[in-house]
């Protein structure tokens, strides 16, 4: 009787980024069509593959888990399409997050993989947006980053700051009102330029949380 081929295992230290996983590097439409032809796993199939990976470092199981969830990365990446960044790049970053999630997924926790992976997918896309969105790059000094963070704590919808609120913020932070106004306008103008009007409010809130959280972290490291 012929022996079953031995399952390929993940070598210690191997990252899933090094695996042969499909990426949207070529024709994006073809890539999306291809991944939608990949079947969705049943809960039982997903658990079996997750156990093979978790307990046996089964590389083939990891690959199947990733491939079956690539369509969900596309769904998530499309929600970031209003920021003037390449959709293919957003998807690729999301795929990296998915791979990280697959590598860390514990099948004994009792949740589906996608529920666990959403955080990792969004985290990688967020980082990519923050690295490449031009509004972040103009906040170069520690004082400017501190100002951005404090603007977030004062009000989420910066476009609707009143004159009294601007004066109050400038007093609290020890800066001129013009400085608060300048950075508020820079952020609002950038968002308005890249985002449809009906989505602008929600987009401002989301991006404000991402940008200012990141900038505050950088500010803490500067201290």
Residues 55 and 103 in one domain: yes
- The total number of structural domains that make up the chain: 2
Return d(Cα 85, Cα 77) in angstroms, integer.
Answer: 11
Each residue's pLDDT tens digit, 156-181: 444 455 677 677 766 766 667 777 67
Residues 184 and 154 in one domain: yes
Count of CB atoms situated within 10 Å of the CB of 116? 17
Show which of 79, 97, 132 is a domain's final residue.
Answer: 132
Residues 139 and 128 in one domain: no
Residues 198 and 121 in one domain: no
Show which of 99, 132, 165 is a domain's final residue.
Answer: 132
CATH code for position 98: 1.20.120.1810
Range of the domain at 99: 26-132
Residues 176 and 105 in one domain: no
In this prediction, residue 195 carries a pLDDT of: 44
Residues 30 and 119 in one domain: yes
In this prediction, residue 40 carries a pLDDT of: 92
Residues 193 and 209 in one domain: yes
Residues in the chain with pLDDT < 70?
A: 1-26, 82-83, 133-162, 165, 169-170, 172-175, 180, 182-223
In this prediction, residue 197 carries a pLDDT of: 39
Residues 125 and 218 in one domain: no
Return d(Cα 126, Cα 122) in angstroms, integer.
Answer: 6
Q: Is 15 inside a domain boundary? A: no
In this prediction, residue 97 carries a pLDDT of: 93
Show which of 132, 162, 182 is a domain's final residue.
Answer: 132
Q: Is 7 inside a domain boundary? A: no
In this prediction, residue 14 carries a pLDDT of: 43
Residues 122 and 177 in one domain: no
């Amino acid at each position: 009787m012929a022996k079953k081929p031995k399952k390929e295992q993940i070598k210690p230290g191997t990252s899933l980024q090094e695996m042969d996983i499909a990426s949207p590097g070529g024709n994006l439409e073809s890539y999306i069509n291809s991944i939608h032809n990949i079947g969705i796993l049943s809960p039982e199939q997903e658990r079996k593959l997750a156990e093979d990976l978790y307990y046996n470092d089964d590389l083939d199981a990891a690959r199947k888990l990733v491939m079956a969830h690539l369509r969900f990365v596309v769904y998530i990446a499309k929600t970031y399409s209003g920021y003037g960044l390449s959709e293919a790049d957003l998807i690729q970053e999301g795929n990296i997050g998915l791979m990280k999630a697959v590598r860390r997924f514990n099948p004994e926790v009792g949740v589906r993989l996608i529920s666990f992976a959403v955080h990792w997918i969004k985290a990688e896309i967020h980082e990519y947006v923050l690295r490449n969105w031009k509004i972040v790059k103009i906040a170069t000094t520690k004082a400017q980053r501190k100002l951005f963070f404090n603007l977030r704590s004062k009000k989420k919808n910066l476009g609707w700051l009143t004159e009294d609120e601007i004066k109050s913020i400038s007093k609290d932070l020890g800066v001129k009102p013009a400085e608060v106004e300048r950075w508020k306008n820079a952020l609002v103008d950038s968002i308005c330029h890249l985002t449809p009007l009906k989505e602008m409010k929600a987009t401002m809130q989301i991006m404000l949380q991402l940008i200012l959280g990141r900038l505050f972290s950088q500010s803490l490291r500067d201290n």
